[in-house]
Every structure is written in C-alpha cells, then in structure tokens.
Amino acid sequence: MTEAAPLAETHRLTEARSPEPALLGQRARHRADADPTPHAGESAPTGSLPAGLLRTARPKQWVKNVLVVAAPAAAGQLFTVHALTELALVLALFTACSAAVYLVNDARDAEADRAHPTKRHRPVAAGQVPVPVAYAVGGTLAVLAPAAAAWLTTPAVAVLLAAYLAMQLAYCVSLKHVLVVDLVIVTTGFLMRAVIGGLALGIPLSRWFLITTGFGALFMVSAKRYSEAVQMAGTAGATRALLTEYTTGYLRFVWQLAAGVAVLGYCLWALEEGGVPHTSVLPWRQLSVVAFILAVLRYAVFADRGTAGEPEEVVLGDRALALIGLAWLTMYGLAVADW
C-alpha cells in the first residue's frame, strides 16, 4: 500500500464524522431561536410606539382604580346620574396619574430592567419606547391630571391626586428602598383610591370604612411581598432589592396582623348600634360578616402558600374566592340599600 492510501483513508473518515455545513447552519439557527435574549450590538425589538406606551401604562393594573366607587357605594349614593358622571371622570383622572407613575418608573429603571429575565421585555427596557419619550409622556400626564381635576371636579380631588403623584414618584426614586415605608406607601395608594370617590361627591367617610379599607389593603400588599420573598428565597437577583432585607417571618406577621384588624373593623361596623335593619327580611349587614371573613380566610390560603401575587389575579383566578366575593358584594349591597 502506498503512503497516499492511509492519508486518503484518514481524510475519508474525518469527512464522515464531520457534520455538513448546512447542518451546522441549521443547528446555529436553532440555538439562536431557542435563546431570545438580545445580545450586544443587536437591534431593539420593533413595535409601534403607541402600543409600547400603552403596555408601559399597565392596563391590567387599571382595575385597581375601580376602588374610586368604594366610598359612594358604602354610603348608598352610587346610582345617580351625578354620581356616575363624577366618578367616571375621577376614574379617568386617577388612571392617568397611575399611568404617569408607571411610565416614569420604567424610564428610571430601564437599565436595571434590561438585566432582569422578565422585566427586560418591558417596552422601555426593550427599546420599543425611548426613555426620553417615557419621561415626557409620564410628566405630561402628571401635570395635566391634577390640573384637569382642579378645573372639572373639587379642589380636594386635585389635592389628593397631586399628593398621590408626589408620594408615588418619591417611591419610585428612593422610598421603595426603605423598610416598612414601602409597604405603607403602596397601602396608602389603595386607600387614596377608595377615599377619592367620597371626596368628589362630598360624602363623609366612616371611621370603620377607613380602618377596614386601609388594613385590608395592607393585608393584600404584605401578602404579595411575602409571596415574592418566598419565591425568591435563595435566588440571586430578587425582583425587589428590599426583599433581601425583609424576613418571611416579619412579612407573615404583617399580613396576619392586617387581616385581623380588617376583620375586626368590619365586624364593628356591621354590629354597631344603628346597624339593625328595619325593612329587610334578613339582617344582611350582619350576615355579610360571614362572607367577608370567608373571603379573608380564602385569600390567606394563597398568602400562606406564597402564591398571592397581584390581588386582582388572585381574586379572579380562584373560582371559590370569586363566588365568595360576589356573595359578600350582594349582601353588602342589600345592607346598604336598607339604610
């Protein structure tokens, strides 16, 4: 056998073991498709600017603003033309304020969000909405909403909206990194939503309404924080840096305390003197306590498991909790109608 023969045989075997260039290209494309993470030098995701601004404004979170009807509903003054018109305007203004806060928050956190596995898909972090545009639109809404409130509604509404914006923007800048204060600010945001409807219509706010609403909001906020802490335990890069400073034991204590005070406040309202019905067949005001406590206990199941995320997702995602909430709302409405 000549010397060229072994060399030819070796070359033939090497070619047999080597994948075809086309196959290598297919594998490279498959790996690129499987890893959607943008790399340095790649172009930002495309998409329309208005759609990106809308996504940044968090439409799913707007359901929280429905709380503006809480005080008029509690006072039995909801279903009048004046009330519905005024509350629709207040709802729109509060939604504009919350959208402004989300836009400024995402613009400020864009750099940090790009390093997060989920938040990097937010329109500002992904480059769909330029940071200056997010700041500009958010700032414009933050100025126009209180100004429109001062012109179209009462001065008290305008002041409350301005206070909400100042508090939430301070939260975005620094207060979200302060222990306990962050819980108080988020809770106060819920309470402001519940109070503003009463201010718009000049309705006196019951002390039991404020206690139950405030501590009910703290219950849901601290339950959400507790769930985040449980899910992120032992994981680097928590969604909120402050979660590393809270202990799960402390957050559990907070949501349990808040749940207890909310239930106590509601019971005192339902059983206080003057709450006995005169025309109803059944004592709806007192019976609503059962549904309220069942709702709190059911929600606490998710809090204890560490799966209590956004309150609206918990309520709408659990059929039993949604039915309990509907039963409570029905009994509460019948109680208010009997006043």
Residue 305 CB: number of other CB atoms within 10 A?
10
Asked if the model's pLDDT at residue 155 lies above 90, the reply is yes
From CA 185, how far away is CA 219, in angstroms rounded? 13
Contact indicator for 7, 89 with CB cutoff of 8 Å = no
Neighbouring residues of 174: CB distance < 8 A, sequence distance ≥ 6:
none
Spatial CA neighbour of 160 closest among 224, 67, 52: 67
Q: What is the pLDDT of residue 54?
A: 92
Q: Are 262 and 217 a contacting pair, CB within 8 Å?
A: no
Work out the pLDDT band at 43, boundaries 50, 70, 90: very low
Q: What is the pTM of this model?
A: 0.78
Q: In 127-180, which residue ranges form alpha helices assigned H by DSSP? A: 131-152, 155-173
Residues 326 and 339: their CA atoms lie apart, in Å, by 20
pLDDT at position 8 over 70: no
Work out the average pLDDT over 161-177. Answer: 92
Dump strand ranges (E) for 85-177.
none
Mean pLDDT of 231-259: 78
CA dist., res. 9 & res. 114, Å (int): 53
The tokens describing 26, both together, are 């297919």
Q: What's residue 79's pLDDT?
A: 81
Structure tokens belonging to residue 168: 């939430």
Cβ(219)–Cβ(256) below 8 Å: no
Band the pLDDT of 232: cuts 50, 70, 90.
Answer: confident
How many angstroms separate the CA atoms of 12 and 35, rounded? Answer: 35
- Cα–Cα dist 149/94, whole Å: 10
What is the pLDDT, as a whole number, of residue 279? 53
- HSE at residue 177, side-chain half, CA atoms within 13 A, is 5
* Residue 322 scores a pLDDT above 90: yes
Per-residue burial over 104-133, b = 16 or more CB atoms within 10 Å of its CB, e = otherwise: bbbbbbbeebbeeeebbbbbbbbbbbbeeb
* Contact in structure between 141 and 99 (CB atoms under 8 Å): yes
